[in-house]
Amino acid sequence: MLALIFTFLFFIVLHSYGELNNLPFIYNVTFVFADAIGFLLGPLIYFYIQSIYIKGSNIINKSIWHFLPAIGYVLIISIPFLISFLKDEYLFSYLKFIDNNEYLLQIQTVFLFIYLLLSFRALKRFKTLTKENYSNLTDKHISWINYLLYGIFVVILINIFIEVYSILSQGKLSTNNILTTISLIVMVVYLGYHGISQSQILLPNYIQNNLRKKNNAKASVKQPTHHLANADKNEIETLKMQLIQLLEDEQPYLDENLSLKKLAEMIPTTDRKLSALLNFHFNTNFYDFINAYRVKEIQTRLGKQEFNKYTILALAFDSGFNSKSSFNRIFKKETGLSPSAYKKQLLNKK
């Protein structure tokens, strides 16, 4: 899916190049892809994000109808328009009407915008699943998807601005404006830079596999319920006590690779029961729960003389954090202060 996304983006740039340099062959060969890009790109991005945590066969079975607008547009508009260009006359009378009212084609922009919103929702779903199972997020992998979505969103806004300006100035509408093409090239180069700078695009395989299993398991349950729904009060209180005792005595949160399954095995209990305990009896998720303990650990160390020789970031990494940005964000969320401001306040009290 990712390969197709960038292939279509490449065709848009190539199509614009052919138009600007008066190269009929390149223009015609890439016309259909560039003309229908709004109907093609949206569903591809949406299912690309969903493929992170949903089994591939399920994606394929559910995705076909989303591409029906693209198929219909290509057959009814794009291909007839291309043939009309080659014959130098309209193949069908409705093509002339569309050509004289090009604003009708902007329905593609609306279609793409809707799928961007669906993609943002799918990304939020992925983040939720990750926080339920892992104590550290791979921020740069998630950021890469955000760059992709916001980049396309910015390109859409630029294109809309150009179209509106063209209408107000009574100029000819052009979806292949050079400014739109340049912004698209900048976006692709930027995404390429961030993609190459990381070991894998998006996620390590072990995260993908675990999230897919859990998502598929949830999807198979017709009436969702948690695994402590039938537990009595004593069992829940015992599980709570075991969890808190484990965290205080063994400090497993210092392990940056701590996962829900690993912590459940240490109690011992099942990962599903532990997840239910956190979600329904602590009103939090695994990610926030563990990182709250890490912040408390850092606060404790900052108050001790023996740790004064270490930087705050060194204490953060030693307490289980693996990212400076996520540490700063979580610390401020838990304490209301940035790490440096908290340390300064602590020193003033002394």
Q: How far apart are CA 266 and CA 8, in angstroms?
A: 49
Does the pTM of the predicted model rise above 0.85? no
- Long-range Cβ contacts of 166-172 (<8 Å, 24+ apart): 167/103
Fold topology of 293-350: Arc Repressor Mutant, subunit A (1.10.10)
**What is the widest separation between alpha-carbon atoms in the chain?**
85
* DSSP 8-state secondary structure symbol assigned to residue 310: S
Contacts of 23 (CB under 8 A, 6+ apart): 17
Let me know: does 245 contact 293? Beta carbons within 8 Å: no
Q: Is the pLDDT of residue 160 over 70?
A: yes
Q: What is the pLDDT of residue 175?
A: 47
Tokens of 162: 């150009």
Please give the share of the chain, as a percent, with pLDDT higher than 90. 21
Inter-residue contact 332 to 343 (CB < 8 Å): no
CB-CB contact of 199 with 31 (8 Å): no
Least confident window among 76-80, 202-206, 344-348: 202-206
Between CA 196 and CA 193 the distance in angstroms is 5
**Cα gap 31→18, rounded to integer Å:** 10
Highest mean pLDDT out of 172-176, 312-316, 321-325: 312-316
Residue 218 in this model has a pLDDT that exceeds 60: no
**What mean pLDDT comes out for the span 260-283?**
88
Share the mean pLDDT of the chain. 80
